[in-house]
Amino acid sequence: MTESQQFSRYEKARIIGARALQVSYGAPVLVDTDQTEPILIAAEEYDADALPFTVRREN
């Protein structure tokens, strides 16, 4: 995620949800955290700008 890119709440929900699914299936966690719930881990990763997701918008 780049600093200049702003995500809508729907894009944010989709990114965090997709990442939580990955974590629940055993993907490595990208930030140091004490959380155990995949959705909370994904939210922390999102807040830390650690997620390598790209959002393509169709005009």
Tens of pLDDT, residue by residue over 28-56, are: 999 999 999 999 999 999 999 999 888 88
Contact 22, 45 (CB under 8 A): no
Structure confidence at residue 5 as a pLDDT band (50, 70, 90): confident
Per-residue 3-state assignment (H helix, E strand, C coil) for 25-57: CCCCCCCCCCCCCHHHHHHHHHHCCCCCCCCCC
Looking at residue 1, what is its pLDDT? 57
Mean pLDDT on 7-12: 94
The pTM is what? 0.86
Q: Between residues 15 and 59, which one has the greater pLDDT? A: 15
What confidence category does residue 4 fall into, taking pLDDT thresholds of 50, 70 and 90? low
